Amino acid sequence: MLATYDVEALRQDFPFLQTGVAYLDSANTSQRPRQVLEAMERYFTGFNANIHRSAYRASEQATEAYEGARDKVRAFLNAASRKEIIYTRGTTEGINLVAYSWGRQNIRAGDLIVLTIMEHHSNIVPWQILAREKGARLAYVDVDEQGLLRQDQFETLLQQGPRLVCFTQVSNTLGTINPYREMTASAKAAGATVLIDGAQGAPHLGIDVQETGCDFYAFSGHKICGPTGIGILYGRRELLEAMPPFMGGGDMIRAVRLYDTDYAPLPEKFEAGTQAIAEAIGLGAAIDYVQGVGLDAIHAHEQALAEYALEALSEVSGLRVFGPPASGRAGVISMWMDGIHPHDLSTILDRHDVNIRAGHNCTMPLMERLGVPATARASFYLYTTRKEIDRLVAGLEDAKRIFG
């Protein structure tokens, strides 16, 4: 395992962590370091102007910072061109963009769309809408008892020649790290277009989209130490060039006439209206921060925490933990305590200043597969410590005491 970093020193960068709360809900939204907040404040106080539209200095500074953040994302993903980096509001909008634009242009009646049972609703519902509209078919890859995707089922479905394959890089409920490179290669060999949900993958593993070979990749800023309301869709240039716009309006046009319009080139074609300028700048600062720590070091830190947490939680009687061993997961642990609903568990843990997620995690089909209505989920990130996991375990024991 790689040498890690000084977590206690790093935590000083995060204002919310100074409140004393054990924040174990980073898969939901991560905390933001001062460097991100300060980058956004510099925009608001120093050059708060719109982009691409004006010739005065503040507007030029805003445009430079906004487009500079795009260049940082391009390098982070190792995309071939900055034209392949589209700003969105988050992973959900990125996937919907593909469904509405590429999907409505390419999916036909009878086409097969392959998904997995562990997908977030944002990687299920858009495809349900599209399949219903086009008369396409949906098929799902199941998980085994360890929470790993059934690769035998995946290969069987690929033999049916799917038009589209969509899967998550990392499960937001089980923490499972899927073999995304191998799955992409197999799907491409079967002739499918591939979309990867990177909401949980980008912050913890990163990706080289050229090496992986995926066609689309989406992630959100607020899960990688950035602000809410900003995300990224990567798409291969030749696919994006052929796709119609997702939205119409200002900044996505080259020329507008009464009865027809010439669209702007990539990436502006998919960025209608005034964008989330401060948030894009914040995302660029977040990419700088995470890369400064190092994704390999972050992943090693999380796996060490997961191993520690799984061992500690195994001592809590009546607790069922879902998902694979620490070696096969990111820093996400979902649990079910006998006799205590996750919402009650979360409320009791909050009395201990321990923050977790309670609910179906936007993965209701997976909850049904696991046989529970909801889970209590603890999730870690680069700033999480073992002491916080100890507080989680103590809170669980207190919940058991309260419920008898």
Query: Would you state the pLDDT for residue 54?
Result: 85
Average pLDDT over every residue of 336-354:
97
253 and 306, same structural domain? Answer: no
Q: Which residues span the domain enclosing 102?
A: 36-292
In a domain, 114, yes or no: yes
CA 328 to each of CA 147, 149, 172, 295, 297: distance values in angstroms, whole numbers, following the listed order: 10, 12, 13, 16, 16
246 and 196, same structural domain? Answer: yes
Is 362 annotated as catalytic? yes
In a domain, 303, yes or no: yes
66, 55, 45, 13: which is closest to 282 by C-alpha?
A: 66
Average pLDDT over every residue of 226-252:
96
pLDDT at 4 over 80: no
8 A C-beta contact, residue 354 and residue 20: no
99 and 204, same structural domain? Answer: yes
8 A C-beta contact, residue 257 and residue 263: no
**Spatial distance between the Cα atoms of 200 and 175, rounded to a whole number of angstroms:** 9
In a domain, 396, yes or no: yes
pLDDT at 1 over 50: no
Q: Which residues pair with 276 in a beta bridge?
A: none
Tell me the CATH number at 134: 3.40.640.10
Q: Which of 166, 214, 225, 362 is catalytic?
A: 362
Secondary structure E strands in 284-344 = 319-322, 332-337
In a domain, 69, yes or no: yes
> Three-state DSSP class for 201?
helix
pLDDT at 12 over 70: yes
Which three-class secondary structure string do you get for 137-187? Answer: EEEEECECCCCCECHHHHHHHHCCCCCEEEEECECCCCCEECCHHHHHHHH
Neighbours of 81 (CB within 10 A): 12
Tell me the CATH number at 334: 3.90.1150.10
pLDDT at 71 over 60: yes
Residues 175-188 have pLDDT tens digits of 999 999 999 999 99
Sheet holding 216-220, edge to edge: 85-88, 231-235, 216-220, 193-197, 164-168, 112-116, 137-141
91 and 21, same structural domain? Answer: no
Query: Would you state the pLDDT for residue 205?
Result: 97
In a domain, 153, yes or no: yes
61 and 132, same structural domain? Answer: yes
348 and 200, same structural domain? Answer: no
Domain end point (choices 242, 269, 292)? 292
Residues 379-396 have pLDDT tens digits of 999 999 999 999 999 999
Q: Looking at the 3D structure of the chain, how many domains does it have?
A: 2
317 and 232, same structural domain? Answer: no
Name, in order, each residue with C-beta under 8 angstroms of 140's C-beta and a sequence gap of 6 or more.
Answer: 114, 115, 116, 117, 365
Secondary structure E strands in 198-246 = 216-220, 231-235
pLDDT at 3 over 80: no
120 and 60, same structural domain? Answer: yes
pLDDT at 149 over 60: yes
In the numeric block, the tokens 């597969």 are attached to 369
In a domain, 31, yes or no: no
239 and 162, same structural domain? Answer: yes
Tokens of 180: 């995304």
Look at the chain and count its residues: 404
Tokens of 183: 């799955």
In a domain, 317, yes or no: yes
Residues 253-295 have pLDDT tens digits of 999 999 999 999 999 999 999 999 999 999 999 999 999 999 9
150 and 264, same structural domain? Answer: yes
302 and 273, same structural domain? Answer: no
Domain end point (choices 277, 292, 307)? 292
302 and 271, same structural domain? Answer: no
DSSP 52-70: SS--SHHHHHHHHHHHHHH
The CA-CA-CA angle for residues 328, 330, 332, to 5°, reads 115
In the structure, what pLDDT confidence band is assigned to residue 2 with cuts at 50, 70 and 90?
A: very low
Name, in order, each residue with C-beta under 8 angstroms of 35's C-beta and a sequence gap of 6 or more.
Answer: 13, 285, 288, 289
106, 170, 101: which is closest to 363 by C-alpha?
A: 170
Residues 103-147 have pLDDT tens digits of 999 999 999 999 999 999 999 999 999 999 999 999 999 999 999
Percent of all residues in the chain with a pLDDT value above 70, rounded to a whole number: 99
In a domain, 127, yes or no: yes
